């Protein structure tokens, strides 16, 4: 059986969102390389002020962000 995913960006599931938040900590605090749970590409971490975004290198895959205060 072959699984095909739409190229449309899908919202992360609850488990994926938890993984992305944990990945943000691992990337920001320990400079680890963390890979996307969907496609295996490297995740990127972007911090602006007191907010951050964790996203897959593939723009159409997955991302999550958090705003401070």
Instruction: Tell me the average pLDDT across 35-45.
Output: 94
Nearest of 12, 22, 21, 57 to residue 39 by alpha carbon: 57
pLDDT tens per residue, range 14-31: 999 999 999 999 999 999
pLDDT tens per residue, range 55-64: 999 888 999 9
Separation CA 3–CA 23 (nearest Å): 25
Q: Please give the model's pTM, rounded to 2 decimal places.
A: 0.79
Domain assignments of the chain as residue spans, ordered by start? 14-66
pLDDT at 10: 75
């Amino acid at each position: 059986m072959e699984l095909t995913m739409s190229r449309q960006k899908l919202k992360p599931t609850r488990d994926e969102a938890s993984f992305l938040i944990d990945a943000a900590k691992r990337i920001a605090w320990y400079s680890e390389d963390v890979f996307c749970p969907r496609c295996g590409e490297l995740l990127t971490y972007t911090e602006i002020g007191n907010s951050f975004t964790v996203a897959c290198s593939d723009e159409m895959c997955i991302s999550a962000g958090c705003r401070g205060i």
